[in-house]
C-alpha cells in the first residue's frame, strides 16, 4: 500500500481541489463580489476592464470585467455553481440509469440483456455531444417557448445523463456477469433468496468499485459537455451564467485583446475537470492492483 504513497498524495490533493471548488461554488452567493444578474450594480463605465494587476485594472474587479461591466470573478463563481450542479446531477442520473440497466441485464440475461446492450451499442456510436445537442433541439422545439428558461437546465441534465449511461451500464453488467458466477451469489440462489435481494446485498456492493471510477471520469466529461453545449449556445438558456457561455461571450472580444474574458472562465473550468480527472485516475490505480505496480 505504501508504494502508492506518491500517487495517493496526488489523488488527495486533487480531491482537496475538487472539494475547494465545491465549497466556492456552493458559497458563490456570499463569496462573489457582485451579485449576478442584478442590473442595477452594472456600470458601463466599468466595461471591459482588464484584471486588477494590469495598469488599467480596477481593484474592485480582481479578474476584470466584461463588455457590460460584469465582474468576471463573480461570473466564474456563479458559472461554477451551475456547471458543477449540472455535472453532478447528470452523472448521478446516468449512474442510476446505468446501474439499473447493467445489473438487471447482467443478472437476468436473455432478451432483456440483448435489447439493453444493443441500445448501449447504438448509443455509443453517437457521441455525447451529438446526443445532447439533438435532445436539446427536440426539447426546445417540442416544449412551449415560455418553458425554455425554466426547463433548460433539466433538459441539459437529462441529455448529458442519457449520453453517459452506457459506461455505467457496461461496467455494471460485466461486474454482474463475474459476480453471478461467484460462490456466494450461487449459494444465495440455492437458498432461493429473491433475485433483487441477491442483487442488492451481494452484487451491487461488489461492482461499485469501477462504478465510482467511471463516475469521477464521467463527472469531468459531464462538466465538459455542459460547457461545450453552452459554448455552442444550445443548452442552458443564455440568461444563466454558465462557464461555457462566459467563454462564448468573451470569445467575441478576443481579437481585440480582451483575453481575460475567455481565459479565466476557461482556466476555472479546465482546473476543475483536471482535478476531477486526476482524482479519478488515482482511484482507478488504487482499485486495480495490476495498474498499481504500473504507476510506481
Partner 1 sequence: MLVVGLLAFAVSTKLGDPVNNMLGQSATSEEREAMRRELGLDRPFVVQYGRYLGRVTRGQLGVSYRLGIPVGELLAERLPASVELSGVAMLLTLLFGVPMGIYTALRRGSVVSKVILGGSLAGLSVPTFLIGLLLIFLFAVQLQWLPSSGRGQVVSVGPWTTGLLTASGLRSLLLPSITLALYSLALLLRLVRGELLDVLQSDHVRFARARGLPERSIHFRHGLRNALLPVITVAALQLGSLLAFSVVTETVFQWPGMGLLFLQAVQFVDVPVISSYLLLAAVAFVLINLVVDLSYRVLDPRVRSTLGGT
Partner 2 sequence: MTGPVALEGLYVALGRPDGEIPLVQDVSFRIEPGRVLGLVGESGAGKSLTAAALIGLVAAPVRITSGRLGVRGRQVTLHDADAIRPLRGKEVGFVPQDPFTSLDPLFRVGDQLVETLRAHTPLDRAAARERAIQLLADVGLPSPAERFEHYPHQLSGGMRQRVAIALAICAGPPLVVADECTTALDVSTQAQIVALLARLVEEHGTSVLLITHDLGVVAELATEVAIMYAGRIVERAPVARLLRAPGHPYTRALLDAVPRIHADGGGALPAIPGNMPRPGELPDGCAFHPRCRRASDRCRIERPPLERSGDSELACWHPLETGRSGG
Partner 3 sequence: MAETAAPFLELRGLTKHFEVPRPLLARVASRRPPAVVRAVDGVSLTLRAGETLGVVGESGCGKTTLGRLLVGLEIPSAGEIRLRGQPLEGGAHRRPRAFQRRIQMVFQDPYASLDPRWRVRDIITEPVRGALPAAARRERAVQLLGQVGLSAADLDKHPHQFSGGQRQRLAIARALCAEPELVVCDEPTSALDVSVQAQVLNLLGETQARLGISLVFISHDLAVVSHVSTSVAVMYLGRLVEWAPRSVLFGAPAHPYTRALLETIPDVGRPGRRRAAIPGEVPSALTPPPGCAFHPRCPLAEPRCRVERPELRPLGNGTLVACHVVGADAPGGAERR
Q: Which does 194 bind (CB under 5 to 8 A by kind): partner 2, partner 3, partner 1, none?
A: partner 3
Nearer to partner 3, 123 or 206 (CB): 206
Name which position in 39, 191, 256, 294 contacts partner 3 (CB under 8 A).
Answer: 191
By CB under 8 A, how many residues form the interface with partner 3?
A: 17
139/165 Cα distance (integer angstroms): 19
156/180 Cα distance (integer angstroms): 36
Residues 6+ apart with CB under 8 A from 88: 219
DSSP 217-280: HHHHHHHHHHHHHHHHTSSS-TTS--HHHHHHHHHTTTTTT-THHHHHHHHHHHHHHHHHHHHH
Residue with the three cell numbers 418553458: 147
Residues 85 and 152 sit within 8 Å (Cβ to Cβ): no
Q: Which does 224 bind (CB under 5 to 8 A by kind): partner 3, partner 2, partner 1, none?
A: partner 1
The answer to whether 62 contacts partner 1 (rule: CB under 8 A) is no
Kindly state the cell numbers that stand for 254: 478576443
Q: Which stretch binds partner 1 (CB under 8 A): 32-40, 58-66, 91-99, 268-276?
A: 268-276
**Which residues contribute to the site for partner 2 (CB under 8 A)?**
2-3, 293, 296
Question: CA gyration radius for the chain?
Answer: 22
Name which position in 1, 39, 142, 191 contacts partner 1 (CB under 8 A).
Answer: 142
Residues near partner 1 (CB under 8 A): 124-130, 133-134, 136-138, 140-142, 220, 224, 227-228, 231-234, 244, 247-248, 251, 254-255, 257, 259, 262-263, 266, 269-270, 273-274, 276-278, 281, 290-291, 294, 296
Residues near partner 3 (CB under 8 A): 181-184, 186-195, 202, 205-206
Amino acid at each position: 500500500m505504501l508504494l502508492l504513497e506518491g500517487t495517493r498524495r496526488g489523488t488527495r490533493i486533487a480531491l482537496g481541489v475538487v472539494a475547494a471548488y465545491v465549497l466556492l461554488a456552493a458559497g458563490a452567493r456570499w463569496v462573489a463580489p457582485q451579485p449576478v444578474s442584478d442590473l442595477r450594480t452594472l456600470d458601463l463605465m466599468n466595461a471591459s476592464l482588464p484584471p486588477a494587476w494590469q495598469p488599467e485594472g480596477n481593484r474592485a474587479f480582481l479578474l476584470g470585467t466584461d463588455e457590460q461591466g460584469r465582474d468576471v470573478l463573480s461570473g466564474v463563481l456563479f458559472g461554477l455553481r451551475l456547471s458543477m450542479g449540472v455535472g453532478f446531477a447528470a452523472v448521478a442520473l446516468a449512474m442510476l440509469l446505468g446501474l439499473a440497466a447493467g445489473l438487471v441485464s447482467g443478472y437476468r440475461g436473455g432478451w432483456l440483456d440483448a435489447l439493453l446492450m444493443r441500445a448501449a451499442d447504438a448509443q455509443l456510436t453517437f457521441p455525447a455531444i451529438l446526443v445532447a445537442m439533438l435532445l436539446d433541439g427536440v426539447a426546445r422545439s417540442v416544449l412551449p417557448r415560455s418553458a425554455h428558461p425554466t426547463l433548460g437546465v433539466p433538459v441539459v441534465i437529462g441529455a448529458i445523463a442519457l449520453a453517459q449511461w452506457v459506461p455505467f451500464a457496461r461496467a455494471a453488467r460485466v461486474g454482474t456477469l463475474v459476480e453471478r458466477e461467484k460462490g456466494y451469489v450461487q449459494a444465495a440462489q440455492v437458498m432461493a433468496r429473491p433475485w433483487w435481494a441477491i442483487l442488492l446485498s451481494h452484487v451491487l456492493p461488489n461492482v461499485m468499485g469501477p462504478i465510482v471510477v467511471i463516475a469521477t471520469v464521467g463527472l469531468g466529461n459531464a462538466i465538459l459537455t455542459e460547457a461545450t453545449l453552452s459554448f455552442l449556445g444550445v443548452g442552458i438558456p443564455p440568461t444563466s451564467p454558465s462557464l461555457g457561455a462566459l467563454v462564448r461571450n468573451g470569445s467575441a472580444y478576443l481579437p481585440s485583446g480582451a483575453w481575460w474574458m475567455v481565459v479565466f472562465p476557461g482556466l476555472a473550468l479546465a482546473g476543475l475537470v483536471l482535478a476531477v480527472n486526476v482524482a479519478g485516475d488515482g482511484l482507478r490505480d488504487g482499485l486495480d492492483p495490476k495498474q498499481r505496480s504500473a504507476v510506481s
